[in-house]
Amino acid sequence: MMTDAAALAGRRLDLVSAPFTLPRSRVLVFRADDGEGVRVHTSEYERRLSDCRVLDALTVIGAGGEVLPVTDVHPARVTFGAAAATLTFADPSTLSLGGEPGARVRLRRPDGHVEEHLLGGGIRLHVAADRAVAVESGDHCAALAATEAIWVDWFAKCPSVRDDLQEMAAFCWWVLGANIVELPSLGDARAIVPSKIGYVGLWQWDAYFIAVGLRHGDPELAREQLDIAFRFPQPDGQLPDVVHELGVLATSDDLPESDRANLRRAGSQIADPSAPVPLTKPPLAAWALRKVLEVEDAPDYARTQLARILRSQDWWFAGSDLDHDGMPEYGHPYSSGLDDSPIFDGPLPTAAPDLGAYLVQQDRELASLLVKYEPDADVARLRARAETTQELLLRMWDPERSRFLAFGGGEPQRSDTVVGLMPLLTGTLPAPIAASLRQAVDDPERFALPWGLPTVAASDPDFSEERMWRGPVWVNTSMLVAEGMEASGYPERARELREQTVALVIHGGGPHEYFNPQTGEKARTATTAFGWSAALFVDLAVQLS
């Protein structure tokens, strides 16, 4: 028997927003466009799903010649008809089919070729690296048992949470398991990708949020996500934006030539426009490490990672303070994680209040972790730098508008966005400023929208309910603001925001990439089964339980 959590997750596996797949697999199964049977794709780095077609249709036909519809989807199997046939995995690259006597499967390949095979005791569809499919006989019962065992083991780790949150927590736990891929260039490394639908790599920021949720059930796998994110620093300590199966993305030179040209044109006006643009993600590394270690201590691991994080933190001040005023900037929108935010509509580089807050917090986190794991380390400089950075951060406060502003190329960017709330994370803002930010979070004209905290205030001319980072609610920014509210002395308001965030994911039908703040539904262009939304739902559910 599978665990109850697996059955709960199965209720959400619609083969549309949530495909049938297996941990470590690159094979995805969706409902066919015509509603009959399913279609099969592979999941590949920087390739659209439509470019990764394996089978345009896989249709199961009963002994009487009738097409058997999909009648049930479970993490371990897809059922056709009245249990007349089932589909499962024989291994991460191979699907297995079996059915009643006389049942057969019709396969339509992308080149239009159609073929049929009797199912009998089982057939296997092996998907090669070039997406070619080889059909061979196989033991379907053994494949079912093996796949079930994989999911039994995974769901045994699913955290137990409050009854009203358990079904979505189980589905979010499925998302985390389903989004595991192997990175062959790293041996047997297991990376949990943001989504097998379009985001196949380990993004630095995503790894932090995913590890924070994953720690509650699989702290070893959580540590592995951070280890992969930290394993490939540049010579100056900068951490790469992405680790993927072909290498890393750390500068514009790691992109195709057409993308490089665009990035350089959009890059820093202070830095050399002909030089590569560094690409990274905001400094929340020590924050994530501390949270993972809280669940299961690992001193040797901690010391290894702290050395890498410390070099990365020093890089921000040495390599990304592009105007040499003491406050590092984002050299490119990619490095902020909020690529399309209106704070980047002006000139670059951009000094942003969220980056200032993360840097203050990271120096303090590093100091505390080093005291525990490296007692001889000099932490005085980190604490002093945190104080200096906070002083510079407070210069971004606009008393007329009662908000923190970003500065692009030295010019104020007056968009009212969620990045202006992130200084709450420091927990040490002057009381009047913290109170003003609390009022902003409570203001229905700005951030207190029906379904949560928009990424741009509703009163701002740049606000859009649907456009990425220009208004939709994201689970990670809501979680960070809630943490900031608690750090700044508003624990009840923090809890309300956490409750609203989990309610949003349930109402919206799953851990989507981002949500419409007025309707609470998935934004039109948002990706489904999104890794950090799933992980942070789990983390919030555990906190609230």
Q: What is the SS3 assignment for 367?
A: helix
Please check the confidence at residue 525 and state whether its pLDDT lies above 90. yes
CB 481 within 8 A of CB 424: yes
Residue 468 pLDDT: 95
Please check the confidence at residue 2 and state whether its pLDDT lies above 60. no
Question: Mean pLDDT for the chain?
Answer: 94
Nearest to 276 by CA among 243, 248, 258, 254: 254
Confidence of residue 481 (pLDDT cuts 50, 70, 90): very high
Lowest mean pLDDT of 32-41, 200-209, 297-306, 315-324, name the range: 32-41
Please check the confidence at residue 143 and state whether its pLDDT lies above 50. yes
Burial of residue 478 (CB within 10 Å: 0-12, 13-18, 19+) is: buried
The letter for the amino acid at 349 is P
Cβ count near 94 (within 10 Å): 20
Q: What is the SS3 assignment for 451?
A: coil
- Inter-axis angle of helices 204-214 and 163-178, nearest 10: 130
Instruction: Give the global pTM.
Output: 0.95
The predicted-structure confidence for 394-442, as pLDDT tens digits, reads as follows: 999 999 999 999 999 899 999 999 999 999 999 999 999 999 999 999 9
Residue 271 pLDDT: 55
Residue 1 pLDDT: 36
**Portion of the chain with pLDDT greater than 70, in percent:** 96
Cβ count near 185 (within 10 Å): 11
- Locus of tokens 């780790």: 157
Please check the confidence at residue 514 and state whether its pLDDT lies above 80. yes
Residue 194 pLDDT: 95
Q: Which residues does residue 97 pair with via DSSP β-bridges, in sequence order?
A: 87, 123
The predicted-structure confidence for 249-306, as pLDDT tens digits, reads as follows: 999 888 766 666 666 655 555 556 677 889 999 999 999 999 999 999 999 999 999 9
| Dist. CA 76–CA 55, nearest whole Å | 20
| Dist. CA 93–CA 518, nearest whole Å | 41
| Dist. CA 118–CA 109, nearest whole Å | 17
Nearest to 176 by CA among 162, 161, 158: 158
CB 341 within 8 A of CB 322: no
CB 68 within 8 A of CB 61: yes
Residue 165 pLDDT: 97
The predicted-structure confidence for 155-168, as pLDDT tens digits, reads as follows: 999 999 999 999 99
Confidence of residue 83 (pLDDT cuts 50, 70, 90): confident
* Dihedral Cα 16, 20, 23, 27, nearest 10 deg: -90
Tokens of 392: 């510079």
The predicted-structure confidence for 344-367, as pLDDT tens digits, reads as follows: 999 889 999 999 999 999 999 999
Tokens of 265: 């044109």
Residue 264 pLDDT: 62
Mean pLDDT of 475-484: 98
DSSP-derived secondary structure for 96-113: EEEESTT-EEEEE-TTS-
Confidence of residue 115 (pLDDT cuts 50, 70, 90): very high
Confidence of residue 28 (pLDDT cuts 50, 70, 90): very high
Residues constituting the chain: 545
Please check the confidence at residue 41 and state whether its pLDDT lies above 70. yes
Please check the confidence at residue 29 and state whether its pLDDT lies above 60. yes
